[in-house]
Amino acid sequence: MEYRKLGQTDLKVSSIGLGCVTFSREIDEATAFRVMDHALERGITLFDTAEAYNSGGSETVLGNWMKDRKTRDQIVLASKVATNLTRERVISSAEASLKRLQTECLDLFQVHHWDNEVSLEETLEALNTLVKQGKTRYIGCSNYDAWHLCKALWLADVNGWARMESVQPNYNLVTRDIEKEMLPLTADQNIAVISYSPLGAGFLTGKYRQGSDVPKGTRFDVIPGHQDVYFHPEKWRIMEAFRAKAAKIDKTMIELALAWAIGQPDITSVFIGARDIYHVDQAFRAEVMGLSEELRAELNCL
């Protein structure tokens, strides 16, 4: 396992992180404990959750695990506030997350989405207060555009506030918007990029077919919103070209998609979701397999 610095902080995180979105929603607490035990044993140290994950259920499971296993000091703990990013809401959300997680301080507290209704100044000032109060060590954002992050960095600089040290974007073979503006910005400003959904929420596993019904029980069936993100002509074209390439070189689509995401330059860590310890091992196999420069270039051009 490789460990990389989180932006300009003193934290180092594993190149593979564990996204805890499945906890209490798709898997029960006992299964989640086994997944987390195995992830930590394999060297994963970055654990990411959010108040929005099953209405705090994921945080509760993660908090119970840390208390039971006494693992708080072994991991980098991240969570997120969802919506209505007023000063009062941001602070109360962090306090509620800390209670569910049964800890006094987060390593990273992030805003889950951009908020058009609340001034960014108010949100950032609240986040800075949390840092000053010792309720989070660092702050970050998720699902921001490059101009959102750039504005946040400028406001933090002129006001002397804690700056955002990380950004968490959706990034995979068919969702590569961040390459145009976000990655140049994060590289220039030394901001950590901790990407999620390397398999496109299952789109890149090959289980979906254009024009066919969505298989029952799959992520796109349980959360239909994923279809709005991935079911577009160009993404179908890339996915089918990817399917053909995987078959040609006798590799699974999952192996290739994970290896591509984990090995992409300028990415600090890649979050994987897991419903079983097999999914954790799957990511490690992909990291070890890696991609040749030639194959990576071919996949980049699909």
Active site residue 53: yes
Give φ, ψ of 188 to 5 degrees: -65, -40
Distance, CA of 79 to CA of 101 (rounded, Å):
10
In the chain, which ranges are E strands? 3-5, 12-14, 16-19, 46-48, 76-81, 106-111, 136-142, 164-168, 192-195, 269-273
Catalytic residue among 53, 138, 144, 196: 53
Structural domain count, the chain: 1
- Residue 101: both structure tokens together: 């997680």
pLDDT in tens, 228-274: 999 999 999 999 999 999 999 999 999 999 999 999 999 999 999 99
| Tally of CA atoms within 13 A in the half-sphere of 83 that contains its CB | 4
Give the model's pLDDT for residue 222. 80
Give the Å distances, CA to CA, from 58 to 105, 206, 302.
17, 28, 36
pLDDT in tens, 129-146: 999 999 999 999 999 999
Identify whether 301 is part of a domain: no
Identify whether 64 is part of a domain: yes
Give the Å distances, CA to CA, from 63 to 3, 74, 98, 102.
24, 13, 9, 5
Distance, CA of 203 to CA of 239 (rounded, Å):
8
Identify whether 226 is part of a domain: no
- Contact by Cβ (8 Å): 23, 207: no
Give me the domain span that covers residue 263.
3-200+257-292
- Residue 180: both structure tokens together: 């145009």
Give the model's pLDDT for residue 219. 81
- Residue 174: both structure tokens together: 């068919």
Q: Which amino acid is at 243?
A: R
Q: Which amino acid is at 169?
A: P
**Residue closest to 3 by CA, chosen among 44, 37, 40:** 44
Q: Output the domain CATH number for residue 22.
A: 3.20.20.100
Identify whether 40 is part of a domain: yes
pTM of the model: 0.95
Identify whether 299 is part of a domain: no
What sign does the dihedral 143-149-153-158 (CA atoms) show? negative
Identify whether 91 is part of a domain: yes
Helix (H, G, I), strand (E, B) or coil at 251: coil
Mean pLDDT by 10 residues, the chain (302 residues): 95 98 95 98 98 97 98 98 97 98 98 97 98 98 98 98 98 97 98 98 94 87 87 96 97 97 96 95 96 97 96
Identify whether 214 is part of a domain: no
User: CB under 8 Å to 213, separation ≥6 — which residues?
Assistant: none
- DSSP sequence for 100-120: HHT-S-EEEEEESS--SSS-H
Identify whether 176 is part of a domain: yes
